[in-house]
Each structure stands twice: as structure tokens, then as C-alpha cells.
Amino acid sequence: MAEKLSRPGRWERIQAAIPKHSIVGRILYPMVEERKTLAGAMAWVGLCMLFTILFIAIFADVISPYNPAIIVDEPMVPPLTNAAITKNLTSDLVDLPTRWVGGKTGLALNDGNLFVSQNVSDSAILESFGFRPFTNSIISVEVLIQSNGTTAAPDNFVDVRVSWDGGGTWSAPQRTSLRTSDLGNGTDILDFTPATRWTAASFGDTTFLVSLTHVKTSGAVEGAVSVDFLNARMTYLSGYHIMGTDGVGQDVFSRVLHGTRTSLAIMVIGVSVAFIAGFPLGLFSGYVGGNIDKVLVLVMDSLYSFPGLLMAGIIAVLLGKGVLNIGLAITVIYIPLYFRVTRSQVLSVREELYVEAAKALGAKPLHVMFAYIAYNVLIAVPVIFSISAADAILTAAGLSFLGWGIEAPTPDWGRDLSAGQGLISTGIWWPSFYPGLMILFLTVSLSFLGEGLSDIVNPLLRKERS
């Protein structure tokens, strides 16, 4: 029992592993102590939201139901539903030889250019309809056939059959005189749904065939039968998509999940390189002062005053598209931010007594800068990192929205938002809504974390300096 009481708890082990005056400790302990305040709650909520995004980015391949870069279903399938998709397609090829003559390849136009048979038993086989169902849930298969010029006697007909295995097996024939009408204008609708158990594999270009055969029931006099238009119509149920499909048939949910990787990669590249460049410059400028400081301040203020999105866009055009290039283009925006914050902190810290003591003991300038000043200035970096990261997400999304960012088919929230916004007026809201929602979610999480840390850490800095 005594051993149990003496065994350190989880918090005690964390305290032993992370010293209170380390960089991590100077952020972690105030967050724990201030967790019940508004600033502490904001920081913890933002951190939890950020960890959620990181989890999605790491496990996107496991969570995602589809490959985000390929077409997986019909365009614009609504979210959370199996939509009934109807395809009306004509043949692109008549399988020759045949004694049917005239007409256009595929009988695609109702224009009086007839496909004619003069002789009984003439057959023609049509293929290459271009069907591409994405599921095996076939609802119906029909053939629409129309003529405007049949001159044969009333006992002349056309028998229509379909095959689903490239001609190995044929359905029972359905007979049409091309005089009666289901749709008007001499059009018959022939239903072949019960002919077999239809699957997606039944509709290949050389698998699904339609056969036309001229038949006669009686009489010795033959006449012509003609077809002006033939259309095969298939209806199937789409796949189930949590967030629907976009304008080209890609799964929105899969693209949103994988888009987290793209956005986080751009953010990390842009903000990290900006820190690597801006922090040492600010440290050096603030410590050295003089003309060097004035020149650096002038350059950084000039960059800072330039519109960030416009500058990033110009650099992106020069560097080209891609995750790395967009990350580097964004970097230029945030170097002045890190420089200014670091320099302002250095101007204060360099006057502290421990810095003066280090100089008096003969410490070299570089040693003073990195061993004494940099350590105490770094406490402000996580705050700036979070806020600049949130802005970097918006900037990257803006570049992609304008067409200067990531190229298709790479999943990217900004590009998908741009591609989907043109469909909103037609009632297709989901291709743009969900990428925009994720941009908002990640931006809010980083903003909450940055603002919360700012309110927690800054009073601590003031207390330490007082």
C-alpha cells in the first residue's frame, strides 16, 4: 500500500520529464494552470482541433473510401444518398458486314438519314455504346428505336435483341413494327431488364450489343424497314458518398481527407522556412543595432507593407505550381512577421541584468545572442507560429482558388473550392461547401491556439521581466 502511495502519478512524471523553465514547460504549465480561464479554454480547444486535423492527415489512406485522384462515380451525386443515374447513349460502331445500308454511324440523329433493310433476315449488330456504370445495382435496361420512313407492308417488322457477354448469349427478341409508338413520333421502348442479372461488367464496349433483324410474318412481297434513331438507356444506383461527388465524379469526402495533407504540408513549409529565416535576422538585428538594424528594418517593413496574397501570387507564378513552390511563395510573407516580433523581444531582453553580466564576464556576442537572448525570446515564437500558420492556410487556399496553387488531380481545398463554386447557382453546393468548411475548421483551430497562447504567455513574460 505504501508503494502505491509513493508511486508518482502521470502528472508528476510529466513534471519530471519536462522542466518548468524549458521552452515546452514555459508553454505547457501555464496552459494547465490557466485551463479554466477563457484564454486557457481557447488554447486547449484549438489544440484538440489541431490534433484532429493531424489525425486525419496521418490516417487519410485508412479512412478514405476511395482514391481521391480518380473518377469513382457520376458527377454531382448528392451526399448521403444512392442516386438513380440514367444514361442514354447511342452506338459508335455498326459491326459489319451487314446488308442494312445508309444512316449515320450509331444512328445518333433523328434527321431522316435512314438505316434501311430491303431484305428479310438482314441483321446488324451495334456495339460501343460507351456505358460506364460504377456499381452493379442496375435498375433498368431499355432500347429506344424510332423510324420516320418505314415503307414496307404491315407484316414487316424488326426484331431487337441484346447481348451482355459480347454475343455469346442473346436475349429473346422483342418485335417492333416501327409504326406504333410509346413516345410518339414512331418511337418504341423495349424493356430488356428481365433478360439477365445485369452487372457493370455487362456494359463494356464490346460486351453490350444490340442486334436488329428484318423479319416478315407472311406474304411474298418484301419491303423496306428503316431506323432513324436507336438509343440504349440504362439506369443504375450510384455509390453511397458521405459528401457526394464533385463536378467530374471524384469523391468529395476522400478529397477533403487527403486535402488535409496538402494544406498542412504547405503550411509547415511556409511557416517553418519563414521562422528559420526571420528569427535569426531579427535576433541579429535587434542585438547589433546601428545601421545594419536600420537597413534590415527598412527592408522588412517594405515587404510587410506589400499585399501578402499579391506577393505570394507573383512568386508562385515565377516558381510554378506544386506543394513545395507554393510553400516557398508563402514564406516571403511571414519572414517580416518573425523578424519584427523577434527584434522587438530582443530589444527588451538585451537590457536584462543577466545579459549585462554575461558581457562583463567576457562572453562573445554570438554566445550571448544564442545562449541568453534567443532562449528567452523563443517563448514568443509558438504564438506567432500559430497565428501565421492560420493565415498561411488562407493564403494557400486563395492561391489555389485563383489558379496559382496546386494542379489537378492533387487534392487541395482551395482548388476544389474554386472548382465547385461555379456549381452553387445550380443547387450543387457540396463540392465547395465541405472544402470551405475544412479551411474554416483548421483556421479556427490555429487561431484559437494562437490567441489563447498569446493571452497566457504574454502576462508570464511581463511577470518574468518585472
pLDDT digits over 328-372, tens only? Answer: 999 988 999 999 888 888 888 888 888 888 888 888 888 888 888
Lowest mean pLDDT among 5-14, 57-66, 158-167, 248-257: 5-14
Are residues 203 and 339 part of one domain?
no
Which cell is 271 given? 511557416
On whether residue 172 sits in a domain, the answer given is yes
pLDDT of residue 71: 93
SS3 track for the chain: CHHHHHCCCHHHHHHHHCCCCCCCHHHHHHHHHCCCCHHHHHHHHHHHHHHHHHHHHHCHHHHCCCCCCCCCCCCCCCCCCCCEEEEEECCCEEECCCCCEECCCCCCCCCCCCEEECCCCCEEEEECCCCCCCCCCEEEEEEEEECCCCCCCCCEEEEEEEECCCCCCECCCEEECCCCCCCCCCEEEEECHHHCCCCHHHHCCCCCEEEEEEEECCCCCCCCEEECEEEEEEEEECCCCCCCECCCCCEHHHHHHHHHHHHHHHHHHHHHHHHHHHHHHHHHHHHHCHHHHHHHHHHHHHHHHCCHHHHHHHHHHHHCCCHHHHHHHHHHHHHHHHHHHHHHHHHHHCCCHHHHHHHHCCCCHHHHHHHHHHHHHHHHHHHHHHHHHHHHHHHHHHHHHCCCCCCCCCCCHHHHHHHHHCCHHHCCCHHHHHHHHHHHHHHHHHHHHHHHHHHHHHHHHHHHHC
Look at residues 186, 210, 237 and tell me which one is the last residue of a structural domain: 237
Residue 125 vs residue 16, higher pLDDT: 125
Contact 448, 42 (CB under 8 A): yes
On whether residue 434 sits in a domain, the answer given is yes
Q: Which CATH number characterizes residue 298's domain?
A: 1.10.3720.10
Residue 398 vs residue 379, higher pLDDT: 398
Are residues 42 and 138 part of one domain?
no
pLDDT of residue 111: 52
On whether residue 14 sits in a domain, the answer given is no
Are residues 286 and 394 part of one domain?
yes
pLDDT of residue 220: 57
- Amino acid of residue 296: L
Determine the average pLDDT of the residues in 292-321.
87
Are residues 204 and 250 part of one domain?
no
**Based on the structure, what is the number of domains in the chain?**
2
Are residues 93 and 62 part of one domain?
no
Are residues 46 and 94 part of one domain?
no
On whether residue 16 sits in a domain, the answer given is no
Are residues 97 and 47 part of one domain?
no
Determine the average pLDDT of the residues in 320-333.
89
Are residues 453 and 346 part of one domain?
yes
Residue 309 vs residue 256, higher pLDDT: 256
Determine the average pLDDT of the residues in 134-140.
94
Determine the average pLDDT of the residues in 100-105.
63
Are residues 364 and 388 part of one domain?
yes
Residue 334 vs residue 176, higher pLDDT: 334
pLDDT of residue 152: 54
On whether residue 27 sits in a domain, the answer given is yes
On whether residue 182 sits in a domain, the answer given is yes
Residue 202 burial (10 A CB sphere; 0-12, 13-18, 19+) = buried
Ramachandran angles phi, psi of 60, nearest 5°: -60, -35
Determine the average pLDDT of the residues in 178-198.
74
* CA–CA separation, 221 and 203 (whole Å): 38
On whether residue 42 sits in a domain, the answer given is yes
Q: Which of 74, 67, 88, 66 minimizes the C-alpha distance to 238?
A: 74
Q: Which CATH number characterizes residue 128's domain?
A: 2.60.120.260
Contact 211, 161 (CB under 8 A): yes
* CA–CA separation, 279 and 377 (whole Å): 9
pLDDT of residue 222: 63
Are residues 285 and 232 part of one domain?
no
Are residues 150 and 126 part of one domain?
yes
pLDDT digits (tens, 9 = 90+) for 273-291: 999 999 999 999 988 888 8
pLDDT of residue 2: 44
Look at residues 237, 260, 281 and tell me which one is the last residue of a structural domain: 237
- How sure is the predictor about 185, in pLDDT bands with cuts at 50, 70 and 90? low
Has residue 110 got a pLDDT over 50? Answer: no
On whether residue 34 sits in a domain, the answer given is yes
Ramachandran angles phi, psi of 432, nearest 5°: -100, -25
Are residues 266 and 183 part of one domain?
no
* CA–CA separation, 16 and 28 (whole Å): 13
**Domain range for residue 157?**
84-237
Look at residues 219, 237, 255 and tell me which one is the last residue of a structural domain: 237
Residue 108 vs residue 398, higher pLDDT: 398
**Intra-chain end-to-end CA distance of the chain, in Å:** 46
pLDDT of residue 209: 92
pLDDT of residue 131: 86
Has residue 186 got a pLDDT over 80? Answer: no
